[in-house]
Amino acid sequence: MSKQTYRVCFCCRRRFKLPVSEAPPEIKALFDHYSENNGFMTAAQLRSFLLEVQKQEKATEEEAQAIIDGLQHLSIFHRRGLNLEGFFTYLFGDSNPPLSPSLGVHHDMTAPLSHYFVYTGHNSYLTGNQLSSDCSDVPIITALKRGVRVIELDIWPNQAKNDVDVLHGRTLTAPVELIKCLKSIKEYAFVASEYPLVITLEDHLTPDLQAKVAEMVTQIFGDILFSPGSEECLKEFPSPESLKKRIIISTKPPKEYLEAKDVKEKGDETHKAKASGDEEAWGKEVPNLKYSTLADYKNNVDEEVCEEEDLDETDKSHHNAAPEYRRLIAIQAGKPKGGIDEYLKVDPDKVRRLSLSEQQLEKFAVTHGKEIVRFTQRNLLRVYPKGTRIDSSNYNPLIGWMHGAQMVAFNMQGYGRSLWVMQGMFKTNGGCGYVKKPDFLLNNFPNNGVFDPKAKLPVKTTLKVTVYMGKGWYHDFRHTHFDQYSPPDFYTRVGIAGVPTDTVMKKTKAIEDNWLPTWNEVFEFPLTVPELALLRIEVHEYDMSEKDDFGGQTCLPVSELINGIRAVSLHSHEGDKYNNVKLLMRFDFL
């Protein structure tokens, strides 16, 4: 056998061999501190550990004994208590997560809808990119199963003009029938959450087809449809609690399309508005094109036109808009005439929904940050991805959240760090899709002031994170996935997604050639706005010659992190939890 052949065989043996998982030194030291000299931890000693290290103030000796009894099926069980292996197994087990499963829905759910961040989808029917992917009810179902509470549908006349399709207009996206989407929404609306589901409609229909939509919606949803019964705006939004298992329709009332048309025809006024810096004057005509290439789409997309205000030839016939359709609209959307100052005016007698693109929000946040916060105390603000995100990528949701925007709309069919942050935020409050906004975004300050998103704030708390070790890749990945001839070289990235002052990423050293990497590294994160902070965790495999390989991720809301040593499950790019991949970490608030 040649030297080269021998070396390959030796490396293959290394690659497939899994070393015994051992507790890192810090875990051994804790076990020694809380156990007896005979090497076993009694229920009383385990309770002391739960109280002092895990900060479980209500832990009882009976609960500690139940943990010990739960390990009876393992050979490590001993009636005198846990040995080191049993203690290590408990810490790394599914019963020791970083977020408490017992919390469930624990936020006050009786405030108006405007007091909550809501898990919101954008173009919820698309299976892939924004230009040429198929439209389907499948991504809608997937989103609903994950707890998404706002589904967006673009509705257009079908080719025969006698029925209604859902598609991304003027692109090559293949349509799906509206009725199919509505039936799937009814079936899956409340499988993940019993709190209200909002359907936002981007309407491009003639009055006769609006009437048809009204009939469909009424017949399919029946009594679960929340309808105010009149064409008037609500004076205040109802609460999520009062709307449990109800479906809500939100769109721009048809008469407002007509008003937008009228503004467009006043050419002199529009010109003046543009000249004075109002870059989003109503009535910009969107070419009635069908974009056949990515280049065409990017060249023609107008970033400053709100997608819900696109004008269509059908608008000419909205003089006779179907009254039954108008009455279905519980949350009215649209912009008043004028610029940003008019958009953000707060009416004490009615509430509404405003939509801004991510770029518009960034621009207006510079000059009108406090006004946006004030607007969102009573009204709903929806933020949607800019038009050039053809690949269905997303943006930083914190910009919207720190200004009080309830509906930060995301493309749920893709993946990426922004979407991981979104998924992390909505693990809060039992994963019900509604997260109560922090008090500072809802309260008025002295002299009728509101929170200033640009203000420099003091540090409220410091999160100390210890990354001990990881395991599970050997079982969840092909053994050649990371490296052809040797075990992987893992490192962990850990950091904060939050307001700009708090946002940071750090990383551990890479541990070479080990399926069970032990890092034992400590990081501290000072937080000025812990209420909006999310802990980002990623594992990668270092590759000297190519791009580092992905090894898992998760994002955890800091507001619900449990103190102590916890087993943190990692997820795939798409957000699906791996069967075995976990990190052992410790969280302490200083």
> Which active-site residues does the annotation give?
122, 168
Are the C-beta atoms of residues 320 and 255 closer than 8 Å to each other?
no
Under the phi-then-psi rule, with left for phi > 0, alpha for psi from -120 to 50, and beta for the rest, what region is 448? left
DSSP string, 86-133: HHHHHHTSTTS-SB-TT--S-S---S-GGGEEE-EESSTTBSS-TTTP
Alpha-carbon distance of 161 to 206, in angstroms, equals 9
What phi, psi does 379 have (nearest 5°)? -105, 165
CA angle 493, 409, 295 (to 5 degrees): 90
Q: Is 24 strand, coil or helix?
A: coil
Residue in 344, 351, 304 with CA at minimum distance from that of residue 330: 351
- Burial class (CB within 10 angstroms; exposed 0-12, middle 13-18, buried 19+) of 65: middle
Are the C-beta atoms of residues 562 and 91 closer than 8 Å to each other?
no
Q: Is 588 strand, coil or helix?
A: strand
DSSP letter, residue 461: E
Structure tokens at 63: 């609960």
Under the phi-then-psi rule, with left for phi > 0, alpha for psi from -120 to 50, and beta for the rest, what region is 429? left
Are the C-beta atoms of residues 248 and 228 closer than 8 Å to each other?
no
478: amino acid identity, one letter: R
With tokens 């939050």, the residue in question is 498
Strands 407-410 and 120-121: parallel
Are the C-beta atoms of residues 117 and 557 closer than 8 Å to each other?
no
DSSP letter, residue 223: G
With tokens 């808009």, the residue in question is 321
b (16+ CB within 10 A) / e for 246-270 = bbbbbbbbbebbbbbbebbeeeeeb
Are the C-beta atoms of residues 76 and 86 closer than 8 Å to each other?
yes
- 214: which residues sit within 8 A by CB, 6+ positions away? 322, 324, 325, 327, 328
Under the phi-then-psi rule, with left for phi > 0, alpha for psi from -120 to 50, and beta for the rest, what region is 392? left
